[in-house]
Structure 1
Amino acid sequence: MTGDSVVLLVDDDPEIVESYQEQLNETYTTRTAFSGEEALDELDETVNVVLLDRRMPGMTGDELLELIRDRGLNCWVVMVTAVEPDLDIVALEFDEYLIKPVSSSQLNDVVERMLTREELDAQIQQIVEIGSKLATLEAKLDYDQLQESNHYRELREEFSQLREEIEVTEYEDDPYLEATVENIDALLPNL
C-alpha cells in the first residue's frame, strides 16, 4: 500500500517542503510544488495524497483544493496550515486539517490514515457489491435453495472474510474509519 503511494507536498515555503519531504521520503514517493500553479502541473491520477498549505501567494490552497475537486482527481487532500479553522472551512472539501507546526509522526500518521481510507473504500465497494448479491438471492430464493447452492455459500464466505478485514481496531482514533465500519454493520445487518 505505501511503497507505491505518491504524496504531493504543496507549500510556498521551501524549508517546510524540504522538511516534509525528508520525513516522508523513506516510506512514500514524494513530489513537491511551491505554488498552486506548480501543484497543478504535478497533479495526476497517480497522486494519492496532497498535503496542502492554505496561504500561498497567487493561487491559494483553498482555490487549488476547489480545482482538484472540480477536476475529479481521486486523491485525499490534507490541509496543513497555520490558519486556525473557522466557519470558512465548512465549504472546503478537504479530508483532514492539521495546524502547523506538525511533527514527523503527525505527517506520517495522517498520510497512513488517508491511504487506509483509500484501501478501506475499495473494500467497502466490494463488500456492498457482494452484500447486494446476497440480499437479492435471499429475497428471491427459499432457504433450501440457498443451502444447496455452492455459489451462495462462496459469496457468504467471501462476504465474511471481507467483513473481518474491515476491522480497523488500530485506527480507533479515526472517526471516519469508525463511522464507516458502523455504517457497514447498519446497512448489512443480516449478512
Structure 2
Amino acid sequence: MPGTDGAADVRALIVDDEREVADAYALRLRGYCEVETAYGGEEALSVIRDSPVDIVLLDRHMPGLSGDDVLTELDERDFSGRVVMVTAVDPGVEVLDMPFDDYLCKPVDREDVRAVIDQQQRILAYETLGEFFRVEAKRAVLEAELSPERRREHEGYDETAARARRLERRTRRLLPDDSILDQFDEIEREGV
C-alpha cells in the first residue's frame, strides 16, 4: 500500500476455537492489516456474511462447525476472498479435494503470518483486477454503442455497471499500485 508498511487495507479474519491462539495471530497482524477474530465456525460465517473479508485464516479442528465445514460452506457461497488453513491437523490426501488457497501447520511465527497475508493479498488483487476488466469491458462497450435510453431499458446493464464499480473499489483497495486501472480507460473500445 502506498505510504504504509504492510497490507493495511486487507481485511483478515482469524478463525480458531482456541481464543488464545486466535488472539495471538490477531496480535501479530494488528497494525499490519485490518483484523477480526471469530472463535468458531458459525461465528466465522456470520462475520463473513455481515462484513467484507478478504482473507480467512481458518483452523480445521473446531467443535461444532469444523474448519472443513466452514470451508465447504464458503465454497458453496462462492466466497470471493482467499482461505488459508492454519492448523495443527497434519494434512493427508484429503486436502487434494479441499478448496483452500494455502495451508500452514501450527505453530506459525509472525513473519510467516504476515508473509501469507501479503501473498494472498497480491493474488486476490490480481484476481479481482481480472474480473473487473472482464466486467468493465462489457459495460464500456455497451456505453459506447448503446443510447442512454437503451441502456436504461436493460436491467442487466445497471447490474453490470454496479458490479464494475464494486470490483473497481475493491481492486483499488487491494492493489499497491492501481495505475493499471487508469490505463484500462485509455484503450479505445468503440469502432472508428
TM-score (norm 1): 0.64
Distance change (3 Å), C-alpha of 1:3 and 1:126: same
Match of 1:75 among 62, 77, 81: 81
Q: Which amino acid aligns with 1:27?
A: Y
Match of 2:31 among 21, 26, 35: 26
Structure 1 stretches of 5 or more lacking a match? Answer: 131-160, 163-191
Matched, 1:96 2:130: no
Task: Give the Cα separation in 2 of the matches to 1:129 and 1:54.
Answer: 35
Task: Give the Cα separation in 1 of the matches to 2:43 and 2:131.
Answer: 33
Deviates more, 1:62-71 or 1:113-122: 113-122
Q: How much does 1:128 deviate?
A: 7.4
What's the RMSD between the two structures over aligned residues? 2.4
For these two proteins, the number of residue pairs brought into alignment is 135
% identical aligned pairs: 34
| 1:7 aligned partner | 12
The structure with more radius of gyration? 1
3-state SS, counterpart of residue 62 of structure 2: coil
Q: Which amino acid aligns with 1:14?
A: R
1:159-182: per-residue Cα shift (whole Å, max 9, x none)?
Answer: xx95xxxxxxxxxxxxxxxxxxxx
Structure 2 stretches of 5 or more lacking a match? Answer: 2-6, 137-178, 181-192
1:87-112: per-residue Cα shift (whole Å, max 9, x none)?
Answer: 11111100000000000001000011
Q: Which amino acid aligns with 2:60?
A: R
| 2:53 aligned partner | 47
| 1:57 aligned partner | 63
Task: Give the Cα separation in 2 of the matches to 1:56 and 1:126.
Answer: 36
Distance change (3 Å), C-alpha of 1:64 and 1:125: closer
3-state SS, counterpart of residue 12 of structure 2: strand
